[in-house]
Amino acid sequence: MAQPRIIIVGGGFGGLAAAKAVRKTPAEVILIDRSNHHLFQPLLYQVATSVLTPAQIATPIRGILRKQKNITVILGEVTGVDKERKCVFVSNADHERVAVPYDYLILASGATHSYFGHNEFEEFAPGLKSVADAVSARNKILQAFEQAEAEEDPGRHRDLLTFILVGAGPTGVEMASALAILVRTTLKSDFRRIDPASARILLVDMAPRVLPPFSEDLSEAAKRRLEKLGVEVRLGHSVDRIDADGITVAGERIPSKTVIWTAGVAPSPAGKWLKVETDRAGRVRVQEDVSVPGHPEIFVVGDTASFEENGKPLPGVAQVAMQQGRYAGRVIHNRITGAPPPGPFSYFDKGNMAVVGKGFAVLQSHKIRVKGFGAWLAWAGIHLQFLATSSLRLTVFLQWVWTYFTGQRGSRLIVNHHGPQPAKAGEEIPSKSAVA
Ligand SMILES: Cc1cc2nc3c(=O)[nH]c(=O)nc-3n(C[C@H](O)[C@H](O)[C@H](O)COP(=O)(O)OP(=O)(O)OC[C@H]3O[C@@H](n4cnc5c(N)ncnc54)[C@H](O)[C@@H]3O)c2cc1C
């Protein structure tokens, strides 16, 4: 008899945890992801600010799962689900909307940026969600210093060297503090005509305080630390306008050539694929076993799921995705093997942490609230532990030690594609023989 087929969409935190949970299940498992790598998103800001290289935070999914013989990894984009026919539609470079049937489906397709209804901001304020986003932000930041160094008109230096981060959650705070250290230490002696330390770094948010998920005293400590590092923190006002030359906030125009969006996220369109009830943010409302109401064979986990515990939806963080992915895998394993189902899903909250520059972090876990160097050590240890492979743990650890003691960073490359220039009107394209 053919084995049942489990399809997992997404090889992020949730999908990978689900895949590992069914490693001993007598089933054919297919994991589909539109990118070939698992990405450790919490360290994306370190690629954007040149501390780490992309390969230090991203690992090929098929490499991680190479020893799991019951799984096949497919590079493709899922564009829909037919619940009645029990199939997902997958497109890749050669095929459009190929129907792939399943017996069990786990959707772990994550989230994307949300501009809170201002999609016009996206062109001028890119977000930070993928490796490509982080490399593009790094290009933008380093390019601004190069342009300022080459600029004869000192009046333009200010705009070029003003960096604005919109969103003072963990990503905005971590990125702003890493940028502040980049300009005041790493780049300090590299330029002749400009002083990188004169760069202005602004962190803007409509919320009344930074790091809203943390207690007030920790968020106040983080704000003080940011200010000590030279970051201007502007709170309590939403951004009215973002264009190619800067932002407008609370009626004030702030010229800048580098604006980065570190604010909201929106779930993947899994709710639309399934045509099921979603919460206001568009996340699929799941039951206590993270399955979709009326479809016990479909599970939704991580950033794209809405699961309420004690009357509150769980946050969009890696721990929730991993625990839900692992749980969904276990439910399916038990059903296939005839074991009794596990009890309802329950989230074990290990706490929140955010790093604010060199040797300082804030950590909150239930009643424990810690700030300073001890919290930073805990942050570093936990992040290393959750990287996908031992080789990444080692290289990231060595890079952090190196950066900590020397101030130097791993990857300060501006990576642009210099393709052939298109011929201008009236210009002749030289023939091969003419240039040989
Ligand atoms: C910059 C940043 C910093 C963060 N920092 C932290 C932090 O410090 N701590 C923390 O706990 N959380 C943090 N988070 C949140 C955390 O990364 C997410 O909660 C977590 O990744 C969610 O896991 P997931 O499996 O739901 O989605 P993801 O990990 O995003 O994985 C989704 C996967 O699905 C794939 N996919 C999406 N759509 C499709 C499709 N249509 N077809 C095929 N494949 C698809 C994607 O390529 C991706 O591999 C951060 C997020 C960001 C963006």
Q: What is the pLDDT of residue 154?
A: 82
Which residue of the set 120, 149, 174, 220 is catalytic? 174
Q: What is the pLDDT of residue 232?
A: 97
- Walking along the chain (436 residues) 10 residues at a time, the average pLDDT comes out as 94 98 98 97 96 95 97 98 98 94 98 91 94 96 95 88 97 97 92 93 97 95 97 96 95 95 93 96 97 98 96 94 98 98 95 94 93 96 92 94 90 83 55 40
Residue nearest to atom 52 of ligand 1 (CA): 41
Per the annotation, the verdict on 151 as an active-site residue is no
Query: Half-sphere exposure of residue 123, counting CA atoms within 13 Å on the CB side?
Result: 6
Do the Cβ atoms of 5 and 30 come closer than 8 Å? yes
Query: Among 8, 41, 386, which is best to mutate for testing ligand 1, by the most ligand atoms less than 8 A from CB?
Result: 41
Q: What is the pLDDT of residue 410?
A: 80
Closest CA to 106 of 19, 199, 226, 210: 19
Do the Cβ atoms of 246 and 151 come closer than 8 Å? no
Residue nearest to atom 17 of ligand 1 (CA): 41
- Please write the tens of the pLDDT for every residue from 54-98: 999 999 999 999 999 999 999 999 999 999 999 999 999 999 999
pTM of the complete model: 0.93
Q: What is the pLDDT of residue 417?
A: 79
Q: What is the pLDDT of residue 428?
A: 52
Whether 171 lines ligand 1, by a CB cut-off of 6 Å, is: yes
Separation between Cα atoms, residue 298 and residue 104, nearest integer Å: 6
Whether 303 lines ligand 1, by a CB cut-off of 6 Å, is: yes
Cα four-point dihedral sign 413, 418, 424, 429: positive
Separation between Cα atoms, residue 173 and residue 231, nearest integer Å: 10
Q: What is the pLDDT of residue 423?
A: 58
Separation between Cα atoms, residue 345 and residue 224, nearest integer Å: 39
Secondary structure string (H, E, C) spanning 321-347: HHHHHHHHHHHHHHHHHCCCCCCCCCC
Q: What is the pLDDT of residue 436?
A: 34
Coil/strand/helix, residue 69:
coil
